[in-house]
Chain A
Amino acid sequence: MSEDLVYLGVPLKRPKVAFFELTSCEGCQLQIVNNEATLLDFLSLVEVVNFREAMSERSDDYDIAFVEGSVTRADEVKRLQTIRKNAKMVIALGSCACFGGVNQLRNRFQDQAWVKREVYGDFPIDTEDEVRPLSAVVDIDLEIYGCPIRKEEVEKIVTNLILGKAIDHPKYPVCMECKANENICLFDLGEPCLGPVTRGGCDAWCPNSRMGCWGCRGPAEVANVAQIRKIMRQYGFSEEILLDRLECFGGFTAHIKEFRHC
């Protein structure tokens, strides 16, 4: 697949793209092949040189590295540093890569030896004491949020990168998209929702299905956590329910610390 890519008569360089996964469910990578209707168009935009889940060929020559998953073991630190060296651009793919994702729920335990024992008994197991996002280890050029990511968003971002356009994430919360979709607010149906404080861009994926938002995309630019606490209380939801959702994906770690103090 080497035909030239042309946009408005101007030939464009087809970037060499590589996909890597650290500690993850591999769901974000799978989302890339999960959009059958546009998959072939997407593949014609880029040259995929590394995608272990789907292909046997491997190469260290790539422009853009999409890295999924969080960092949980010393060998992953090394792999990530190598990827950083090889790639012109490193993109964190999904909430595990951006914030630690569900994996970081174990950071809430003081005693990591207990965590290991709970699962493996006395059998020795190699892992770091803290689950970290990619940005704690190397510089990241771009983050794509979500658990899972939205394929449409990745396609848009890649297209914009090729065209040299700026990439900006929505600053407004999920609520804006939810209201635009004319959903009945879940609070009125007796369900808790983090839509008011979570970054939009998912088109209110969960509230569209009458499932409250759990904050997988992390905080919106103005995330008024005191406000959501008030709303939750007002609708009769406990602090535990709020905390379960806020801490689920790791995007609100700083906010949780803040209101544990007040």
Chain B
Amino acid sequence: MKVTCDINVHHLTRVEGHGNIKIRIKKGEVEEAYWEVVETPRFFEALLVNKKWDNAPYICGRICGICSIGHTLASIRAVENGFGIIPTEQTGKLRLLLKHMETLQSHILHLYFLAAPDFLSTGSVLPLIKTHPEVVQRALRLKMLANDVCDIVGGRRMHPTRTVVGGFTMLPEKAELIKICRRLENSAPDLMETAELFSSLDIPDFIRETEFVSLKGVDNYPFIGGDLLSTDGVEMEEQEYRMMSNEYCVARSTSKWSKLSRESFAVGALARCNNNFEFLHPLAKEAAGKLGFSPVNHNPYMNNMAQLIECIHVVMDSITLIEDLLGNGRQEPRQAVHPQKGVGVGAVEVPRGILYHSYEFDGEGRIQKADCVIPTSQNNANIHYDIKALAAQCAEAGKSDHEIEKLAEMLVRAYDPCISCSVH
């Protein structure tokens, strides 16, 4: 039987923000298949114009509720690079710890609350509270741990209050660090059971060869700053990010699109694992084996597995970071800021991929021009071409319209898109 279907998903659920999926197949021929972003823009780049430098991280954190820490840190890095400030070792470690816990919080939220219901065939996590209480409790425990660490280090789990240009307004107490270190160590069984659960799920079989973009690791799995890398062999410096992201406007999308060597590329956990696998913690690599992941993997649904691998990595690395912080003694939390004329760029790997902030300052540190390039906006074109390819594959395989709709929804969700962020 030749497939004929007309799929319209309006305001896709269990993703952040507003997007639509459209697939129309007639007698086995794909007539139309696209990904549409209808989110309302907030014009952050314009909001910043004529604002002093200290407004930037404060306002830009509000680009996104889920990755507010990532935006705050990218914004701070852009300001610091503009003013020639080099963060102290203590600040660097605390920021990375905070970043790690946002990654954990966001990935766990996505894996358990947004993605898992598809695999367990429910509409949301709510029925699972009854049917799989231990699964929900485990998810909440891991999320709570991550959020508690964000409170202790960043002052607040969302829109952090201690992160400022120059460092931190105050430091976590030593006793608190010891306590969270212990809790991180004790989270290992929860992480392993999470890996166990996800390795039992059926990941849809779909491959589309893709270019992956991320920071380039030197001796560590990279999250904050450094050079940029793509699987097609492109390498650039942080401040050349515009040539890496090449944003352009398209119809049917209030989010911009990006391209590099091909018509689209992907960023995110899968891109990071593909590009920097060698730098993952040994336990994360071991889990990768169990989850059927090896680089370079071109199945976008495997982004779920890459997120899980990263959860293990960031927990293990956080333990090391806290041990270092405790061993090093306390330094001044904050250094002085001297504004200067020029441009500053900050690249940070946030949960959904590489994020860039760039500001042009006048001599008093007032922003003249701002630019923010968001992971999901870099992914939107790739999501679109994936949907097209998926529709063609489904048409050929003679899938039912119900199956096609579910696979398409799961595909978009696998990217864990942050749509309001991508439009900003």
Say if the beta carbon of B157 comes within 8 Å of chain A: yes
A111-144 near B? 1/0 per residue, CB < 8 Å: 0001110111101010100000000000000000
Chain A contacts with B in 30-58, Cβ cutoff 8 A: 30-31, 33-34, 36-37, 39-40, 43, 48, 51-58
Q: B62 — which chain A residues lie within 8 A by C-beta?
A: 25, 27, 101-102, 147
Task: Decide if B51 touches A53 in the complex (CB within 8 Å).
Answer: no
Are the C-beta atoms of A53 and B14 separated by less than 8 Å? yes
Within 8 A of B (CB), among A199-219: 205-206, 208-211, 214
For chain B residues 183-240, which have a beta carbon within 8 Å of chain A?
none
Closest to A211 in B: B161
Would B126 and A210 count as touching, CB distance under 8 A? no
- Nearest residue (CB) in A for B334 is A210
Q: Which of B40, B43, B54, B162 contacts A106, CB < 8 Å? A: B43
A22 to chain B, nearest CB (A): 7
Query: Which of B59, B136, B159 is A105 in contact with, Cβ under 8 Å?
Result: B59
Interface flags, B1-29, vs A, CB<8A=1, else 0 = 00000000001011111000000000000
Task: State whether A248 touches B64 (Cβ < 8 A).
Answer: no
Evaluate contact between A109 and B144: CB separation under 8 angstroms: no
Judge whether B140 is part of the interface by a CB distance below 8 angstroms. Answer: yes
B63 with A25: CB separation less than 8 A: yes
- For the complex of A and B, 5 pairs with smallest distance between CB atoms: A27-B65, A55-B124, A209-B155, A36-B144, A56-B123
B42 touches A209 (CB 8 A): no
Residues in chain B near residue A214, CB distance under 8 A: 58
Which of chain B's residues have a CB closer than 8 A to the CB of A39? 140
Q: Are A55 and B13 in contact (CB under 8 A)?
A: yes
> A244 contacts the other chain (Cβ, under 8 Å)?
yes
Are the C-beta atoms of B169 and A240 separated by less than 8 Å? no
**B156, A105: Cβ atoms closer than 8 Å:** no
Q: Does B52 lie at the interface of the complex (its beta carbon under 8 Å from any beta carbon of A)? A: yes
B41 within 8 A of A: yes
Q: Are A23 and B40 in contact (CB under 8 A)?
A: yes
Looking at the assembled complex, report how far the CB atom of B85 sits from the nearest CB atom of chain A, in whole angstroms.
Answer: 19
Binary contact track B265-281/A, C-beta < 8 Å → 1, others 0:
00000000000000000
Q: A198 — which chain B residues lie within 8 A by C-beta?
A: none
Chain B residues with Cβ below 8 Å from A28 are 65
Tell whether B422 is near chain A: CB-to-CB under 8 Å. Answer: no
User: Which B residues are in CB contact (< 8 Å) with A27?
Assistant: 62, 64-66, 68, 158-159
Contact residues, B161-175 vs A (CB, 8 A): 161-162, 164, 169-170
Which A residues lie within 8 Å of B113 (CB)? 33, 54
| A211/B155 in contact, CB under 8 A | yes
Q: Is the CB of A209 within 8 A of B162?
A: yes
**Known A54-B113, A102-B62, A209-B169; contact A37-B144, beta-carbon cutoff 8 A:** yes
B266 to chain A, nearest CB (A): 23
C-alpha spacing A51/B13, complex, angstroms: 8
The distance in angstroms between the C-alpha atoms of A102 and B424, with both chains bound, is 11
The answer to whether B45 and A118 touch across the interface, beta carbons within 8 angstroms, is yes
Encoded as 1 (CB less than 8 Å from any A CB) or 0, chain B from 306 to 330 comes to 0000000000000000000000000
Task: Say yes or no: A43-B159 contact (C-beta < 8 A), given A26-B17, A121-B249.
Answer: no
Total A residues in contact with B, Cβ cutoff 8 Å: 60
CB distance from B273 to the nearest CB of A (A): 25
CB–CB A56/B49 < 8 A? no
Please tell me if A63 contacts chain B, counting CB pairs below 8 Å.
no
| Chain B 45-86 interface 0/1 with A at a Cβ cutoff of 8 Å (1 = within) | 111010110110011001111101000000000000000000
Residues of B within 8 A of A105 (CB): 47, 59
- Please, which residues of chain B bring their CB within 8 A of the CB of A51? 124
Residue of B nearest to A53 (CB): B16
B42 and A23 contact, CB distance less than 8 A: yes
How close is A204's CB to chain B, nearest CB, in angstroms?
11
Of B46, B126, B249, the most chain A CB neighbours within 10 A belong to B46
* Residue numbers in A under 8 Å from B143 (CB-CB): 36
A-B contact pairs, 14 of them (CB 8 A): A23-B420, A26-B64, A26-B420, A27-B66, A31-B158, A34-B157, A36-B140, A53-B14, A54-B124, A55-B117, A125-B41, A147-B159, A148-B65, A244-B52
With A26-B16, A33-B109 in contact, do A210 and B123 touch (Cβ < 8 Å)?
no
Do A25 and B45 touch across chains, with their CB atoms under 8 A apart? no
Cβ of A155 within 8 Å of any chain B Cβ, yes or no, is no
Contact B40 A76 (CB under 8 A): yes
Check if B169 sits within 8 Å of A127, measured CB to CB.
no
B141 interface hit (Cβ, 8 Å): yes
A55 engages B169 (CB within 8 Å): no
How close is B49's CB to chain A, nearest CB, in angstroms? Answer: 7
State the Cβ distance, A38 to closest chain B Cβ, in Å: 10
The answer to whether A118 touches B49 (Cβ under 8 A) is yes
Q: A54-B113, A56-B13, A103-B42 are in contact. Are A120 and B249 (CB under 8 A)?
A: yes
Interchain CB contact (< 8 A) of B59 among A31, A119, A248: A248
Residue of A nearest to B47 (CB): A105
Interchain nearest-CB distance for B28 vs A (Å): 28
Q: Mark B30-46, 1 if CB is under 8 A from A, else 0.
A: 00000000001111011
Q: Is the CB of A244 within 8 A of B161?
A: no
Contact residues in B for A10 (Cβ distance below 8 Å): none
- Chain A residues closer than 8 Å to B13, beta-carbon distance: 52-53, 55-56, 58
Given the complex, which residues of B lie within 8 Å of A206, measured CB to CB?
155, 161
Q: Are B40 and A72 in contact (CB under 8 A)?
A: yes
Q: Which residues of B lie under 8 Å from residue A102 when comparing CB positions? A: 42, 47, 59, 62
Q: Is B408 an interface residue (CB 8 A)?
A: no
A28 to B51, CA, bound (A): 25
Docked Cα-Cα span, A54 to B12, in Å, equals 11
